[in-house]
Amino acid sequence: MKIQNIPFSPGMLEDIFLILESRMNDMEEKSKLCCLVFDEMSIEPKIEYDRGSDSNIGYCTLPALPTEASKALLFLVAGICKRYKQVLAYHFTSASTDNVAAKNFILTLLEKCEASKLHVLVLVCDMGNRGILNQLGFSCRKDDIQYSILLSANKEADLCILYCIRIYF
């Protein structure tokens, strides 16, 4: 499948998961170990017409609202024992992200990764949006540090989070 034929609309990139799943069949188990990275970046709020999809883009997609997006939220996996990186999803958000919707999307993404034979051990972010982390059950308060959570998708493994290195104490 050529990359030009893959639809890259906001949300989960379903065709990418199909490609990853077929590639995971040929990999050793340790090569399937990966981390899910997410980052939010500012974008210029602007609505533009996209000829490829015959639609206007630039509206919030997480949750779907008829307001201009001012941020982009990107999700990718990166191999831990084998070198690979692949974008899995992206969304456009407003200045104040709906943390519950983002949490639910991340949990769905983790389940989709597991179904595609990717074993996510670590969630990586720069802590720009602590609301999402709090919704997921992580905490970095001085009196309450919670750096790992148990996922329903994989009861045997804890999901740890790596923050950017900062001192909160």
pLDDT band at 165 (very low <50, low <70, confident <90, very high): very low
What's the pLDDT tens digit per position in 14-63? Answer: 999 999 999 999 999 999 999 999 999 999 999 999 888 899 999 999 98
Q: Which of 74-83, 120-129, 150-159 has the highest mean pLDDT?
A: 74-83
C-alpha to C-alpha distance for 162 and 164, rounded to whole angstroms: 7
Alpha helices in 25-168 (DSSP H): 99-115, 130-136
Mean pLDDT over 138-158 rounds to 62
Q: Which residue has the higher pLDDT, 6 or 43?
A: 43
What's the pLDDT tens digit per position in 62-102? Answer: 988 889 999 999 999 999 999 999 999 999 999 888 889 99
Tokens of 136: 């997921």
